[in-house]
């Protein structure tokens, strides 16, 4: 293995590089320069992740440790902070790098307006990169306190990005998001304090070995779960999400729905199935699954009732997040060895689901942003003629929608099919009904938009001229959304790619 593929450099670079980008974009003058720096950094980040993946799939498996580790500053656990990587987190990093690149390119055009408020675009880039620092850091952290820090970096950067719009609605949504985020982090930090008091370590891997099913561990797990459920916005703690995701600028909404909520889900999976697995009870796992099922129904109903497109897409996120929580009851009898970390058929299915949803949802939010730019509003009832004025955007929306519904050959189809298989193998047929009816409800809200979009303007003579599109978009903006939607199709045809990646740890 040559020095370029040395994991010792690659892991810290994934945190350091976006941090450097945040500093550079703060110092740089002019939107063009800041955007060029960002696109370059996003490209390098993607290359690093690809190198890391090839290292993991070639040499990584032959190492004796399942978790690949890097000790920052040469200080190992328990005193130092370890960066670790396994199949699941590698997949999340790859997803982050891909979405970062597409969304960075999109943002270059989204925030470029000759007469736009200059300070808004100047503030966007450093915050954007800080958010990426937090996300990458979180997926790489092998230390529960370091995870707290990355959670806060993500939270603060995300709140500032939501508030970027400057309108009263956006600021109110941002403030609520901030208070919820801080509450969630404090619950988490209290759990960290309890765990450190009891076990004397902050290291995830060490915890998974020494954790015992005692009252303190249960209390810590309950606090972690409460805190992270707030941040993941699982029903009934989802109240802050639709407004925050609906008021943010389009690329920010896209990354919030595609990645940020999933960082907390990733941690929940990490704690329940890996680090604190000895303390996780069957009842707790089933309870999380029931909440997930409730989220699927509640989110879909609200998406059906939403009047604004962005709100509809945000409620759809609430519903889709519900599917992720089906992971917890499904590991119960799939034959997964529950203390073996994040591996097994249920985990693979959910990992695939995360990727499929991230691409489809990011594409949808970008389309909503494009529509808002062109029409000046995103009122679903007034989107007549969308098929005529923005055919590519509508096509993108339809493909992303097909993936959310779970129609073949999209990635959404494969992910639901995998989930159904796992549910049937686990002899838990009731989840099958929920998964299928969730898809049906997704079809209802996606087709509702398509239905209106195909009504031509001529048929609706009473439409006022001001409802007709006024702005022309740079071609690259619909193309970015289209690329993400195409990605869901491409992943549908190449499912093994993702599934092989998640199972990297299994061969050891």
Partner 1 sequence: MSQDLLYIIASIGLFGIGLYGLIVAPHIIRKILAINIMSIGVFMLLVASASTVNGTPDPVLHAMVLTGIVVAIAGTALALFLAGKIHTLGQASDKDGH
Q: What is d(CA 135, CA 128) in angstroms, rounded to the nearest whole number? A: 11
Please identify which residue in 9, 43, 51, 149 interacts with partner 1, judged by CB under 8 A: 149
DSSP designation for 260? I
* Interface segment toward partner 1; rule CB under 8 A; list 178-186, 246-254, 273-281, 388-396: 178-186
User: Buried (b) or exposed (e) across 393-423, using 16+ Cβ within 10 A?
Assistant: bbbbbbbbbbbbbbbeebbbbbbbbbbbebb
Site string for partner 1, 105-144 (x = CB under 8 A): ----------------------------------------
Q: Is 196 in the site for partner 1 (CB under 8 A)?
A: yes
Q: Which is nearer to partner 1, 252 or 347 (CB)?
A: 252
Q: Is 244 in the site for partner 1 (CB under 8 A)?
A: no
Q: What is d(CA 345, CA 323) in angstroms, rounded to the nearest whole number? A: 15
Please identify which residue in 22, 37, 202, 252 interacts with partner 1, judged by CB under 8 A: 202
DSSP designation for 257? I
Q: Is 171 in the site for partner 1 (CB under 8 A)?
A: yes
Q: What is d(CA 179, CA 293) in angstroms, rounded to the nearest whole number? A: 26
Closest approach, Cβ 197 to partner 1, in A, equals: 4
CB 243 within 8 A of CB 173: yes
DSSP designation for 281? -
Closest approach, Cβ 230 to partner 1, in A, equals: 12
Nearest to 369 by CA among 212, 484, 282, 451: 484
Q: Is 404 in the site for partner 1 (CB under 8 A)?
A: no
Helices (H) and strands (E) in the chain, counts: 21, 2
Please identify which residue in 84, 121, 141, 185 interacts with partner 1, judged by CB under 8 A: 185
Q: Is 9 in the site for partner 1 (CB under 8 A)?
A: no
Q: Which is nearer to partner 1, 201 or 415 (CB)?
A: 201
Q: Which is nearer to partner 1, 206 or 415 (CB)?
A: 206
Q: Which is nearer to partner 1, 175 or 294 (CB)?
A: 175
CB 409 within 8 A of CB 492: yes
Please identify which residue in 160, 207, 234, 367 interacts with partner 1, judged by CB under 8 A: 160
Please identify which residue in 14, 178, 220, 261 interacts with partner 1, judged by CB under 8 A: 178
Collapsing DSSP states into helix, strand and coil, what is residue 68? strand
Tokens of 370: 């494009």
Q: Which is nearer to partner 1, 219 or 286 (CB)?
A: 219
Q: Which phi and psi angles does 265 have, rounded to 5°?
A: -65, -45
Chain residues 50-109 in contact with partner 1, contact rule CB under 8 A: 79
Please identify which residue in 71, 172, 333, 437 interacts with partner 1, judged by CB under 8 A: 172
- What angle, rounded to 10 degrees, do the helices at 345-375 and 261-270 form? 170
Q: What is d(CA 323, CA 431) in angstroms, rounded to the nearest whole number? A: 10
Instruction: Kindly state the number of chain residues that form the binding site for partner 1, as judged by CB under 8 A.
Output: 29
CB 121 within 8 A of CB 31: yes
Q: Is 190 in the site for partner 1 (CB under 8 A)?
A: yes
Q: Which is nearer to partner 1, 193 or 209 (CB)?
A: 193
Please identify which residue in 182, 290, 432, 486 interacts with partner 1, judged by CB under 8 A: 182
Please identify which residue in 52, 189, 485, 487 interacts with partner 1, judged by CB under 8 A: 189
Q: Which phi and psi angles does 308 have, rounded to 5°?
A: -100, 140
Q: For 415, how many CA atoms within 13 A lie in the half-sphere containing its CB?
A: 30
Q: What is d(CA 144, CA 407) in angstroms, rounded to the nearest whole number? A: 39
Closest approach, Cβ 202 to partner 1, in A, equals: 7
Tokens of 492: 């549908």
Please identify which residue in 42, 138, 163, 367 interacts with partner 1, judged by CB under 8 A: 163
Q: Which residues bind partner 1 (CB under 8 A)?
A: 79, 145, 148-149, 152, 155-156, 159-160, 163, 168, 171-172, 174-175, 178-179, 182-183, 185-186, 189-190, 192-194, 196-197, 202
């Amino acid at each position: 293995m040559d020095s370029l593929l040395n994991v010792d450099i690659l892991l810290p670079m994934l945190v350091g590089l976006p941090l450097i980008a945040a500093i550079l974009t703060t110092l740089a003058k002019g939107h063009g320069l800041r955007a060029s720096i960002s696109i370059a950094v996003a490209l390098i980040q993607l290359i690093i992740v690809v190198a890391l993946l090839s290292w993991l799939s070639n040499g990584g498996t032959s190492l004796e440790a399942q978790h690949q580790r890097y000790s920052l500053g040469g200080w190992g656990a328990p005193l130092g902070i370890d960066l670790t990587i396994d199949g699941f987190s590698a997949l999340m990093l790859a997803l982050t790098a891909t979405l970062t690149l597409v969304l960075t390119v999109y943002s270059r055009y989204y925030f470029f307006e000759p007469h736009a408020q200059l300070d808004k675009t100047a503030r966007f880039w450093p915050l954007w990169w800080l958010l990426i620092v937090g996300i990458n850091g979180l997926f790489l952290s092998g230390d529960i306190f370091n995870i707290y820090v990355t959670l806060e970096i993500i939270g603060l950067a995300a709140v500032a990005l939501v508030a970027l719009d400057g309108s009263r609605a956006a600021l109110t949504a941002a403030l609520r998001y901030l208070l919820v985020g801080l509450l969630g982090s404090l619950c988490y930090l209290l759990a960290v304090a309890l765990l450190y008091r009891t076990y004397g370590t902050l290291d995830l891997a060490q915890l998974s070995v020494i954790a015992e099913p005692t009252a303190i561990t249960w209390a810590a797990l309950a606090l972690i779960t409460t805190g992270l459920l707030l941040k993941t916005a699982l029903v009934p703690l989802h109240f802050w999400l639709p407004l925050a995701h609906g008021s943010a600028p389009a690329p920010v909404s896209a990354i919030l729905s595609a990645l940020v909520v999933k960082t907390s889900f990733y941690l929940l999976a990490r704690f329940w199935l890996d680090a604190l697995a000895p303390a996780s009870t069957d009842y707790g796992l089933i309870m999380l699954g029931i909440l997930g099922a409730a989220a699927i129904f509640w989110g879909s109903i609200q998406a059906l009732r939403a009047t604004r497109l962005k709100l509809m897409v945000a409620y759809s996120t609430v519903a889709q997040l519900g599917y992720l929580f089906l992971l917890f009851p499904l590991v119960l009898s799939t034959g997964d060895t529950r203390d073996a970390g994040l591996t097994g058929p249920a985990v693979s299915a959910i990992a695939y689901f995360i990727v499929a949803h991230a691409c489809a949802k990011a594409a949808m939010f970008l389309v909503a942003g494009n529509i808002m730019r062109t029409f000046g509003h995103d009122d679903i009832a007034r989107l007549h003629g969308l098929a005529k004025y923005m055919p590519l955007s509508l096509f993108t929306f339809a493909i992303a929608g097909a993936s959310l519904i779970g129609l073949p050959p999209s990635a959404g189809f494969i992910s639901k099919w995998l989930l159904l298989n796992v549910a049937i193998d686990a002899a838990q047929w009731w989840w099958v009904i929920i998964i299928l009816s969730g898809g049906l409800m997704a079809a209802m809200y996606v087709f509702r938009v398509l239905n209106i979009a195909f009504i031509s303007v001529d048929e609706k003579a009473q439409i006022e001229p001001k409802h007709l599109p006024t702005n022309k978009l740079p071609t690259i903006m619909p193309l970015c959304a289209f690329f993400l939607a195409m990605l869901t199709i491409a992943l549908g045809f190449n499912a093994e790619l993702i599934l092989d990646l998640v199972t990297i740890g299994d061969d050891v």
